[in-house]
Structure 1
Amino acid sequence: MPRRFLQRYMPNPETLRRQRSLRFMGHLIGDPGLWVLSRRTVANAFSVGLFSAMLPIPFQMVVAAFGAWVLRCNLPLSVGLVWITNPLTMPLIFYGNYRIGAWLMDTPAREAPTRVSTRWVAERMADILPALALGSVVSAIVFAVLGNLLVRLLWRWHISRSWKQRAMRRRLRRLDMDD
C-alpha cells in the first residue's frame, strides 16, 4: 500500500482537533503516533477496523478508536474502516454473520424476512442473538486476520516492485552514460 496514496486521503489532525464535537478526544487525535503510515500501523489498523465493523454493537467507531489507541496503529484508518457496515450493507453483513453462527452452532437458521422491522427483530432476538454473536465474533476474527495479512503482503509487494523499478532505472541510466 503506497504511503503517498494513503496520505492523500487522510484527514488533517489539526482540523479534526479544532472541531467542537471532537474536542473531548483532542489528546487522542493529537497523538502523532496514531497517524503514522507504516506497514505495521496500517495492517493493524485494518485488523482493528474490520474487527469492529463485524460486531453488531452501537458505537463501533469508539471501539475502533480505542483499539487503535491500544495497538498503536493508524487511527483514521481504523475508524474509517468501520463504515464497511453502513446502513446499506449492515443487514446483509449481519445476516451473513447470523448464518455463520447458526451453522457453527448446528442450528437451523431462520430465513430473512421480506420486510424487516424492529418488532420482528425484538420478537426473535432471543433466538437470533446467540448465533449472531458467535457468527459476528468468528467473522470479526477471520476478517481482522485476513485484512492484516493482505495489507502486509500488498505493502511488501509494492515495496519490492518499487525497488525493482528503481534498479531498472539505474541500469538504464548507466547504459545511457556508457553510450
Structure 2
Amino acid sequence: MPKKIIKRFLPDHQKIKQQKVLKMFGTLLHDANLWHLNRRSASGAFGLGLFFAFWPVPFQMWLAAALAIPFRVNLPLSVATVWITNPFTMPPIFYGAYLVGVAVLGQPEQEFKFQANWDWIVASLGSIGPAFLLGCFICAVFFGLAGFFGMNLLWRHSVRKAWQKRRQQRMAPFTRRM
C-alpha cells in the first residue's frame, strides 16, 4: 500500500532528471537505485527528507538530493519530503524547534517579533540563535530517525497484510468444500 500511495504522488523520474538544478549531479543521476521504490529506499528517503526539513537553510532540497545519491535512497521522495516545511508550516515547526532548544538549554523563552529582513536575522542569532539551532538539530535527528523507522514499519505492515490477504484468497476455495 505505501508503494502505491507514494508512486501516485511522485513525478516521473525522466522529468526530474531534466531539471536544470539537478544537472550539477551529472551522471550520478543515472543510478537506478535512486528511482527504485522499495522498503529500504523509501524509508531511507523519508528519514533523510525529514532530517533536512528541520534545517533552517534555504537549500534543503539540494542537501536532500546530494545525500540521497551516496546513500542510494529514492531521490524524488527525499526531495519531496523536505516540503513538509513549507511557507505555511515553517513558523510553527521552527517555533517548536526553538522551544525544544530552550527546554534543553534551560533558558527562559524570549519574546521576539519576526521581521523579514537580514538585519533582524543577524541580530537574533545572538539572542535566540543558540536555542533555535540546537532545537532544530534535535528535531532533525529525532524526526529523521522516527521517519526512517516509521516508514520501515509501515512498509513491513502493509506487505504482511498483503501476504495475509493473498493467503486467505488461496485458502478460500478449500474452506468452502469443508
Same fold, TM exceeding 0.5?
yes
Matched pairs, number: 177
CA 70–23 in structure 1, closer or farther in 2 if over 3 Å, else same: closer
1:1-80 equivalent positions in 2, closer than 5 A: 1-80=1-80
- Write out per-residue CA displacement over residues 41-76 of structure 1, whole angstroms, 9 at most, x where no aligned residue: 111111100000001112101110112112111100
1:69 alignment partner AA:
I
Are the counterparts in 2 of residues 43 and 148 from structure 1 also a CA contact under 8 Å?
Answer: yes
- The CA deviation at 1:12 is 1.7
Conservation of the 8 A alpha-carbon contact between 2:45 and 2:73 = yes
**CA distance in 2: counterparts of 1:74 and 1:21, whole angstroms:** 17
Look up the equivalent residue of 1:93 and give its one-letter code.
I
* Aligned structure 1 segments of 4 or more residues deviating by more than 4 angstroms: none
Normalising by the residue count of structure 2, what TM-score does the alignment of the two structures yield?
Answer: 0.89
Partner of residue 100, structure 2: 100
| Structure 2 CA distance for aligned equivalents of residues 96 and 61 of structure 1 | 21
Residue 139 of structure 2 aligns with an amino acid whose one-letter code is S
Shift of the 64–6 alpha-carbon distance from structure 1 to 2, 3 Å rule, reads same
The answer on whether the counterparts of 2:34 and 2:74 sit within 8 Å (CA) in structure 1 is: yes
1:100 offset after TM fit, Å?
Answer: 0.7
**RMSD across aligned C-alpha pairs, in angstroms?**
1.9
- Pairwise CA distance, 1:175: 3.9
How far did 1:94 drift? Answer: 1.1
Q: CA deviation at 1:123?
A: 2.8
1:21 Cα deviation (Å)? 4.6
TM-score (norm 1): 0.89
Q: CA deviation at 1:143?
A: 0.1
Q: What is the aligned-residue identity percentage?
A: 38
C-alpha distance in 1 between matches for 2:21 and 2:156: 38
Q: Secondary structure at the match of 1:109?
A: coil
Indicate the residue corresponding to 1:134 in structure 2: 134
Structure 1: state its 5+ residue gaps: none
